[in-house]
Amino acid sequence: MRSFGIPALVCTAILMPAVATASSHREAPMIAGMPRVDGSDFYMFKSYEAGRGGFVTLIANYLPLQDGYGGPNYFKLDPAALYEIHVDNNGDSAEDLTFQFRFTNTYKGLGVPTGASGGNLAVPLDNIGTIDAAGANLNVTESYTLSLIRGNRRTGTRSAITGDDGATFQKPADNIGIKSIPDYAAYAQQFIYDITIPGCATKGRVFVGQRQDGFVVNLGQVFDLVNLNPLGARDSGHNAIAGKNVTSLALEVPTSCLTAGNDPVIGGWTTASLPQSRVLNPNPQGPVTNGSAKGPAVEGGAYTQVSRLGSPLVNEVVIGITDKDKFNASEPKDDVANFGAYVLYPTLPVLVNALFSVPPPATPRNDLLAAFVTGITATVNGQPFKFTAPANLTVPGEMLRLNTSIPAEPIAQQKDLGFLACDLAGFPNGRRPYDDVVDIELTVVEGAIAENALNLQTCDVSGATPVVKNAGAVVNDGALPDPAAYLTVFPYLNTPTPGSVAATP
């Protein structure tokens, strides 16, 4: 094995310059200033809650790096935006199914008597008392509608997804603190809805709300000239974003409603889009109402995609800085033309070699092409085994892929290194919250599946039983996920960190 001496530790910073902003948190110049539509992580996996083996869970996280104490406005989603989860099930790298979320924020202007003439004055806070599911004490409520679009996301056939009480769903308030919401887990549970999906005989589920960020990364050490040992103990550092919250859009959909024909492989990605134009109001008046000319801004025009996320870290690890905004505005079907060179001839391993004499794997990097663009096909016991490559692939494109025929593993049996640890239900076969995608991708970028050039850990699937090779040789950041930090049931990401944990006497 080549030596990774102390100077070579800096290679991790070169390989992953935006890991310091997490999986896809503020990863491109424009989206860095638009947190409400910044897609930070996307998960797609076979549901591993007991009794839910026939379902796939899709989770799109937005508005990253939330601190629990972020009042008085906390973290509302953008009512002008389209938040979408796309599924490709015929191998053409274009959406066949789109789950579209649209939000409405209602400002009540709750007031209290102060003696002023004209009655009560509006309070400046998000709530005026303890919050329950009815939301009577909430000053701002968030609701949303959910649609299924078959075909092109803008011109396809649109149908409303409904719950038992209609087509409008409520989003719970963020976890302000234990005085406002004494039992947040029980409170949020009331916002998990059974849903009827047009064309599906079995109901799915939806939840939209604040969750604890499940991504794990050792930020401080990476920034400090990578003050860590990338081939050392995987728990030698700490998760610098532990305790941060995100807003999750979580869906659980029957597997049969996502696949097409006999091919079990699906691809997925999430996007956010905004109207093309915005006119600021120099004299905003009255309560803020969606689309109101009295509000702080009026937005209009065609929707324009501003955020995109499929596999984690692609816009950080692979795409050049001058093309990051272009990637966020692009679609998978155009990836080969737009970004193919970045994948086959990546720049970052070349920089590693120039600075630290760690020779990169030979190019073209067909291993990265498979991992990110086409999906991986392996051979088990001499027979082709579709890991994440769709049988009907006609147009390559970057997205997260999932072979739905591979059963889910209960979290107690999950391996955080996924495929590198021969857990075929883990990343890059979809992505589960527990998968340590930083360590997996660092190891792959350095050549783990490029004919195992650096003798790094990988899985040998050439025999009847997959076997881990070179166990322990994992390029890592020292931040190790904890399975106890995740729920074992939908929506899988943990209860968000509260803004306060103890009432003042």
Q: For residue range 329-386, what is the model confidence (pLDDT) as tens digits?
A: 999 999 999 999 999 998 777 766 665 567 888 899 898 899 889 998 876 555 566 6
275 pLDDT higher than 80: yes
Percent of the chain with pLDDT over 90: 63
93 pLDDT higher than 80: yes
SS3 assignment, position 21: helix
Q: What confidence tens digit (pLDDT) does each residue in 445-480 have?
A: 888 888 666 789 999 887 778 899 999 999 888 899
pLDDT tier at 2 (50, 70, 90 boundaries)? Answer: very low
- The alpha carbon of residue 442 and the mean position of all alpha carbons in its chain are separated, in whole angstroms, by 18
6 pLDDT higher than 50: no
Predicted local distance difference test score (pLDDT) of residue 318 = 84
Element (H, E) at 220: helix 219-223
Omega of the bond leading into 491 within 30 degrees of 0 (cis): yes
Predicted local distance difference test score (pLDDT) of residue 313 = 84
Residues with Cβ within 8 Å of 358's Cβ and at least 6 positions away in sequence, in order, are: 2, 4, 8, 11, 352, 446
Across the range 246-273, mean pLDDT stands at 97
Predicted local distance difference test score (pLDDT) of residue 380 = 58
C-alpha–C-alpha distance, residues 241 and 19, integer Å: 11
Predicted local distance difference test score (pLDDT) of residue 238 = 87
Across the range 186-203, mean pLDDT stands at 97
Show me where the domains of the chain are located. 31-105+122-285+295-312, 343-484
Instruction: Confirm if 490 and 47 have CB atoms less than 8 A apart.
Output: yes
Beta strands in 14-71 (DSSP E): 39-46, 55-66
437 pLDDT higher than 50: yes
Higher pLDDT, 40 or 387: 40
Predicted local distance difference test score (pLDDT) of residue 19 = 36
Predicted local distance difference test score (pLDDT) of residue 439 = 92
Q: Which amino acid is at 59?
A: I
Q: What is the DSSP string of 284-343?
A: --SS--TT-TTSSEEEEEEEEEEEEESSTTHHHHTS-GGGHHHHHT--GGGHHHHHHHHH
35 pLDDT higher than 60: yes
Q: Is the full-model pTM beyond 0.85?
A: yes
pLDDT tier at 316 (50, 70, 90 boundaries)? Answer: confident
Counting Cα atoms < 13 Å in the Cβ hemisphere of 379 gives: 4
- The alpha carbon of residue 193 and the mean position of all alpha carbons in its chain are separated, in whole angstroms, by 21
Predicted local distance difference test score (pLDDT) of residue 167 = 97
Whole-number Cα distances in Å, 425 to 46, 387, 439:
8, 9, 17
How many other CB atoms are there within 10 angstroms of residue 464's CB atom?
A: 10
Predicted local distance difference test score (pLDDT) of residue 217 = 85
Residue 259 falls in which region: left (phi positive, over 0), alpha (psi -120 to 50) or beta: beta
Predicted local distance difference test score (pLDDT) of residue 240 = 84
Average pLDDT value for the chain: 87
**40, two tokens:** 């930070």
Percent of the chain with pLDDT over 70: 87
Predicted local distance difference test score (pLDDT) of residue 502 = 78
256 pLDDT higher than 60: yes
Predicted local distance difference test score (pLDDT) of residue 230 = 78
Per-position b or e across 346-382, b if 16+ CB within 10 A of its CB: bebbeebeeeeebebbeeebbbbbbbbbbbbebebee
**447, two tokens:** 């050549």
Instruction: Confirm if 230 and 468 have CB atoms less than 8 A apart.
Output: no
487 pLDDT higher than 80: yes
Predicted local distance difference test score (pLDDT) of residue 352 = 61
